[in-house]
Amino acid sequence: MAGLKAVYDPTNMFRHNHNIPPAAR
């Protein structure tokens, strides 16, 4: 599901690639 989430949320994928937690916006 995380993969589909990344497809619809480029920002989330960016944070995931850089190991940045969602709270750190």
Count of structural domains, the chain: 1
pLDDT at residue number 11: 74
pLDDT at residue number 10: 73
Range(s) of the domain holding residue 16: 1-25
Task: Determine if the pTM surpasses 0.85.
Answer: no
pLDDT at residue number 24: 53
Is residue 9 within 8 Å of residue 3, measured between CB atoms?
no
pLDDT at residue number 21: 67
Three-state DSSP state, 17: helix
The tens-digit pLDDT sequence of the chain (25 residues) is: 555 555 567 777 677 676 766 665 5
Q: How far apart, in whole angstroms, are the C-alpha atoms of residue 13 and residue 20? A: 10
